[in-house]
């Protein structure tokens, strides 16, 4: 039995019928975690240790820089820089002796790569989103009204479709997994057909023969396609 603590926010996101419901939940998580990183987390010694170790990805550094809490960010950076400096040990002074062969196995190349690939905020969001997927699948399997809600969504994006399918494959009986796959494919298939047709009309609008034809909804088709494909 999966933890069901997220059934309320998932249902609320599904009741919006505005874009991908899971992207909406993720946007809220981004906002909450950014506030947490610059607030409560940096004051907690244990969490701060984790923050110093993982660092942040370029996008979340930009988000933190854009947030109006420069002192919190500077304090985070101060201790994080100490941790990073240990990953760049300074060479012994040159004594003219022949250089020793570096030992085999994990070294700075691995440690620095691990740091470059990790992010305190991403790792928190990833953990919660994984539980959203698991709860989503649980609701779909146990609640007929939820199945109807899913069928009426505008769309579910590729990233979230992948997450839902992965959770469903791991957690549902094969027959239920097959049913969920069918329902998701119908929803996503309808959206792809509509976006594709709008993108085609948008491309055709650049043809001089269509210069006098006004564009309707198709003028947003590129943005719509990207929102679905990301």
Residues that bind Zn ion (CB under 5 A): 20, 22-23, 57, 60, 119, 121-122, 157, 160
Whether the Cβ atoms of residue 160 and residue 20 lie closer than 8 Å to each other: yes
CB of 132 to Zn ion, least distance (A): 10
Task: Please count the residues of the chain.
Answer: 230
Q: Which residues fall within 8 angstroms of residue 184, CB to CB, at 6 or more apart?
A: 150, 156, 161, 164, 165
Nearer to Zn ion, 121 or 168 (CB): 121
CB of 71 to Zn ion, least distance (A): 21
Radius of gyration of the chain (CA): 24
Name the phi and psi angles at 117, rounded to 5. Answer: -90, -10
73 Ramachandran zone, left/alpha/beta (phi>0; psi -120 to 50): alpha
CB of 19 to Zn ion, least distance (A): 8
CB of 187 to Zn ion, least distance (A): 12
Nearer to Zn ion, 132 or 138 (CB): 132
Nearer to Zn ion, 59 or 213 (CB): 59
Whether the Cβ atoms of residue 151 and residue 143 lie closer than 8 Å to each other: no
CB atoms within 10 A of CB 62: 11
Q: Of 228, 138, 141, 226, which Cα lies nearest the Cα of 190?
A: 228
Nearer to Zn ion, 126 or 213 (CB): 126
Nearer to Zn ion, 125 or 172 (CB): 125
Nearer to Zn ion, 23 or 29 (CB): 23
CB of 97 to Zn ion, least distance (A): 43
Q: Which two tokens stand for residue 208?
A: 């001089």
CB of 99 to Zn ion, least distance (A): 38
């Amino acid at each position: 039995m999966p933890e069901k603590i997220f059934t309320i926010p998932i249902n609320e996101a599904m009741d919006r019928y505005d874009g991908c419901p899971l992207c909406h939940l993720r946007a809220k998580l981004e906002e909450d975690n950014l506030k947490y990183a610059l607030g409560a987390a940096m004051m907690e010694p244990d969490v701060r240790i984790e923050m110093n170790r993982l660092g942040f990805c370029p996008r979340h550094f930009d988000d933190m820089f854009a947030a109006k809490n420069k002192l919190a960010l500077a304090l985070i950076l101060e201790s994080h820089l100490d941790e990073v400096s240990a990953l760049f040990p300074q060479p012994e002074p040159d004594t003219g002796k022949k250089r020793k062969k570096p030992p085999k196995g994990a070294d700075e190349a691995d440690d620095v790569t691990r740091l470059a690939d990790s992010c305190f905020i991403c790792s928190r969001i990833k953990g919660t989103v994984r539980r959203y997927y698991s709860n989503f699948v649980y609701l779909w399997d146990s609640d007929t009204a939820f199945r109807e809600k899913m069928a009426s969504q505008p769309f579910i994006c590729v990233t979230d479709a992948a997450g839902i399918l992965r959770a469903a494959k791991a957690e549902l009986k094969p027959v239920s997994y097959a049913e969920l796959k069918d329902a998701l494919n119908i929803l996503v298939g309808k959206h792809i057909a509509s976006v594709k047709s709008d993108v085609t009309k948008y491309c055709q609008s650049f043809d001089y023969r269509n210069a006098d034809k006004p564009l309707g909804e198709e003028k947003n088709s590129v943005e719509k396609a990207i929102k679905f494909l990301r």
